[in-house]
Structure 1
Amino acid sequence: MKNLIYILLIGISTLISCDGSDAPIYPRYAAFPDERTVATQEISIDSVFFRYPYRVTVKDSIAVIMDLHNDSHYFYSFTYPDWTPIAPFGKRGKGPEEMLSAEMFQFCSLDSIWALDANKMQITRWAISVTEKTVSRVEEITLDKNLVRSLDFYRTDSGFLITDYLGNYRYHKVSHCGRLIKNIGKIPTETNYEQYIHPALAQAWRSFTGYNPQNGIYAMVTQLGEALEIYNLKKQTHNVVYGPGGEPQFNEKGGESIPTGIKGFMDIQVTDRYIYTVFDGMSWKERDAFYQRGEAPPKGGRYLYVFNTQGTPIRKYTLDKNIFGIYINETTNTCIATCVETNNPILIFKL
C-alpha cells in the first residue's frame, strides 16, 4: 500500500501518441515521502585548474575527476581524502595516444580505469601508480562500427553495456574486444513515432547509466524529461517509472532533436539498496529567459533523488548549490559531487 501512495498513475500522458491514444503505459511518481534540505561544503584542490568538472569517482584511496571542457587533459587523479594531485591523463588531441573526446569513465581498480572516447569509437584502460605519480595507458579497444556512436558505457565481467545511438534499441551488449554481441530493448516512449524519427528520438532519450554487479541492477535516467529505467540483469526484468516531468519532449528537425520540455537527470549511481540520481528540472523556456536577459542559466542540478532498486521514490535532497557528477559512500553516509559554479570543483555533504 505504501508504494501506491507515491507511485501514481496519471490519466494523461505527457506526450500524446501519434495514433491519438493518451493512456499511460508506465507508472508515475508524484512526490517523495521524505524531503530534506542539505548544505554543501567546498573542497579546495591546489595546483589544478578545472574548466568543467563533470564526473568524480573514489576507489582505493584514489579519486579521479573528469573535466569535460579542459585545456589539456580529460582526467585528473588524486589521493583521497587529502586531494593531493597524482597525475593527469587522457591528453586532449589527435595523436595516437590522445583523446578526441571523453564521454564517461569507470574506475574499477588502480590498474583498471576505463574511458570512453565517442569520437574515436574507442575504450581505453589506464593504470595509476601512486608511488611513481604516473598514469599509463595500457589497453585500447576499438568498438564495432555497427554501434555508430557510443555515448555511455559500463564494463561487466562478460563485456560492455553500451547505450544505443540510433533509437532502434535501448542498449547493446559488446564483448571485451569491442564486438557487438546483442541488441537489447527499446526506448520506453508512450508515443508512437515513425521510423524516420528514431535517431532524433534516441538523442532526446540519451541517458546516463549505472550498474551494480552485486544485485545486477542496470539503471538509466534521461537527460531530458524525467524517466527512470531499471533492468535487473539477474532476474531479467525491466521497470520503467516516469516522474512529473514525463518522458523527454522534443521537436524533430533534419534528423536532429530540438528539446522543448525540461532538462532532466545529470548523473546516476546504483548501490546495493538504492539508486541515486542528480536532477535539474528547469524547462527550456526558463533557460531561454536567462539568455534573453543576458545571463547564463544555472549549470547542473539542485536535487539529489533517491529511489529503491524497484524505482519507488525514497528521498529528495535539495542542495544549496548545483552539482553534476556524484560519488556516494553509504558507509560514511557521504556524497562527493562536482560543481562548475564555485571556485572549487568538489563539494561534499552528508546524507
Structure 2
Amino acid sequence: MYLAATVLRNNVFLLLFLFIFFSCDNKHKEYAENVFPYSRFPQEKELRGEVIELDTALFRYPFRIRIEGDKVIVIDLHGTDHYGHLFQYPSFQYLSSFGRRGDSPMEMLSMENFRFYNHAVWTLDANKSELTRLDYSSSGDSLLREEAVTLDEDILRPLDFVVYDDTTFVIPDYSGESRFLKVNCQGKLIEKIGAIPTANEKALHEARPALAQAWRSFLDYNPHNGVLAAVTQLGEVVEVYNLKDSTHVVRIGEHNEPEFKVSDGYGIPTGIMGFSDVQVTDSAIYAVFHGTSFKEIARQSGRLSDGGKYIYVFSLKGEPLCKYVLDHYIYGIWVDEATKTIMATDVNSDQPILKFSFG
C-alpha cells in the first residue's frame, strides 16, 4: 500500500512538473522576446478626487481633457452642438466651443481626439477621415479652423492620432497589416510601423481587420523623449515604442490580450474593457484602466458606473511602477508632474471635471 501510494504520488508530481514545463515553454514560444507579463505594481496608493465646479452645463460624454498653458480643452464625444469646449485654466471659466456638429464642409461628424502642437490644436474626425488644424483667435478666447487634411482612401477609418513632427502624423492601422501608419501633412501614407503583437496566429492569418478592431488602442507621444505609448481598449496590453532608438516593448497584464469573436468580418469583444486613455510625460506613462468584464456589464444592464477606477503608471520602458486606486470612475486624464496633479473626466456626473493630487 505504502509503495503504491509513493509511486502514485511521484507520478502525480512528474505529471505536474511536465505540465508546468510545457505550459511555460509554450507560453514562451507564443510571444516574441520583447513581450513581458506583469501582474502587480511595486506601489499602490489611493487618491481622492476634488470636483471642479463649472458654471455651465455643456457635456453629454466628456471623453478627453488636455491642458496647455492657461487653456484647457475638453472633448464631448456625443456633443449636441459642438464637440470641443475651451476653458481658462486653472479657473475653468468657459470661453467658447468649437468643432460644430454637422455634415457641411466646415463642420464635423465626430471628434475622436485632439492634440496641442506648436500653439495650435489638431483634431481628428474619423467619420470624415480628416485632420483639422485650429489656431487661437487674436483675443485667445476661441479656436478658428485654419486647414483640413483628408486622409488617403486606403487608410481605414482612424480612431486616434498623434502629431509626430511638423510634417508627420502617426495613426493606428486598422487593416491589420501593420500596427501604425506614418502619414504626411497631405494625408499620404509614408511608412508602416510594427505589427500587432498577438499570439492569436489564426486571427493574424485569417481575420486581420477584425483582429485590428479588437486591438483598438489609445495613443500618446512625447517628442521630448521619443516615446509612443499605446494601450488597448480591450484586454490589458501596453506597448512602448521608442521612435528615437527603434526599440519596442510590450507589457501584458493578468487580463491578457484583447479577446473577441469574429462575426460578419467584425471583431466582437468578449473579454474585458481595458484602458481608456494614456499620457506619456517626460518621465513615465500614465493610463486609465477599467478591468470590467463584458459579462458583468451586460448583467448589470446599465447600473454600473462608466469608466475606470485605476490609473496605472509605467516607466518609459513599460515597467509597472504604481497603481492608483480612485474614488471616482474616470475616462480621460491629463497629468502635470511638476504640480503632482491629475485632471480627469467623469462621464457619470453633471460636474464632470475632477482633480487628483498625487506623489
* TM-score where L is the length of structure 1: 0.91
Matched residue, 1:76: 85
Out of 145, 150, 153, the residue aligned to residue 142 of structure 1 is 150
Matched residue, 2:8: none
Out of 299, 324, 333, the residue aligned to residue 289 of structure 1 is 299
Out of 142, 159, 163, the residue aligned to residue 155 of structure 1 is 163
Asked if 1:326 is matched to 2:333, the reply is yes
Identity %: 44
Asked if 1:209 is matched to 2:219, the reply is yes
| Shift in alpha-carbon separation, 1:65–1:349, aligned structure 2, 3 A | same
Asked if 1:246 is matched to 2:253, the reply is no
Task: Give deviations 1:140-175, integer Å, cap 9, x for gaps.
Answer: 111111212111111121400011111111000010
Out of 171, 195, 198, the residue aligned to residue 189 of structure 1 is 198
Task: Give deviations 1:251-288, integer Å, cap 9, x for gaps.
Answer: 11111111111110010000111000000001111111
1:261-300 correspondence to structure 2 within 5 Å: 261-291=271-301, 295-300=302-307
1:70 is displaced (CA, Å) by 1.1
* Larger mean Cα displacement after TM superposition, 195-204 or 312-321: 195-204
Matched residue, 2:48: 39
How far apart in 2 are the matches of 1:246 and 1:267?
Answer: 18
Out of 237, 260, 278, the residue aligned to residue 270 of structure 2 is 260
Give the residue type in structure 1 aligned to 2:126.
Answer: A
3-state SS, counterpart of residue 202 of structure 1: helix
How far apart in 2 are the matches of 1:92 and 1:332?
Answer: 35
Matched residue, 1:120: 128
1:133 is displaced (CA, Å) by 3.1
**Aligned residues of 1:60 and 1:109 also touching (Cα < 8 A):** no
Matched residue, 1:315: 322
CA-based RMSD: 1.7
How far apart in 1 are the matches of 2:296 and 2:23?
Answer: 24
Matched residue, 1:57: 66
- Structure with bigger gyration radius: 2
Q: Which has the higher helix share?
A: 2
**Aligned residues of 1:228 and 1:241 also touching (Cα < 8 A):** yes
**Aligned residues of 1:86 and 1:130 also touching (Cα < 8 A):** no
Q: How many matched pairs?
A: 332
1:310 is displaced (CA, Å) by 0.7
Q: Which runs of 5+ in 1 are unaligned?
A: 1-9, 14-20
How far apart in 1 are the matches of 2:90 and 2:96?
Answer: 16
How far apart in 2 are the matches of 1:238 and 1:130?
Answer: 42
**Aligned residues of 1:73 and 1:89 also touching (Cα < 8 A):** yes
1:339 is displaced (CA, Å) by 0.5
How far apart in 1 are the matches of 2:142 and 2:327?
Answer: 36
1:47 is displaced (CA, Å) by 2.1
| Shift in alpha-carbon separation, 1:11–1:257, aligned structure 2, 3 A | farther
3-state SS, counterpart of residue 49 of structure 1: coil
How far apart in 1 are the matches of 2:159 and 2:303?
Answer: 26
Matched residue, 1:6: none
Matched residue, 1:167: 176
Q: Which runs of 5+ in 2 are unaligned?
A: 1-20
Give the residue type in structure 1 aligned to 2:193.
Answer: I
How far apart in 1 are the matches of 2:156 and 2:321?
Answer: 37
* Larger mean Cα displacement after TM superposition, 143-152 or 278-287: 143-152
**Aligned residues of 1:205 and 1:222 also touching (Cα < 8 A):** yes
| Shift in alpha-carbon separation, 1:87–1:197, aligned structure 2, 3 A | same
3-state SS, counterpart of residue 162 of structure 1: strand
3-state SS, counterpart of residue 326 of structure 2: strand
How far apart in 2 are the matches of 1:240 and 1:60?
Answer: 33
Matched residue, 1:301: 308
Task: Give deviations 1:213-242, integer Å, cap 9, x for gaps.
Answer: 011001100000000111100011111110
Out of 234, 242, 246, the residue aligned to residue 244 of structure 2 is 234
How far apart in 1 are the matches of 2:242 and 2:140?
Answer: 41
How far apart in 2 are the matches of 1:287 and 1:11?
Answer: 35
Task: Give deviations 1:58-97, integer Å, cap 9, x for gaps.
Answer: 0020000000011100000011001111110000000110
Asked if 1:179 is matched to 2:188, the reply is yes
3-state SS, counterpart of residue 145 of structure 1: coil
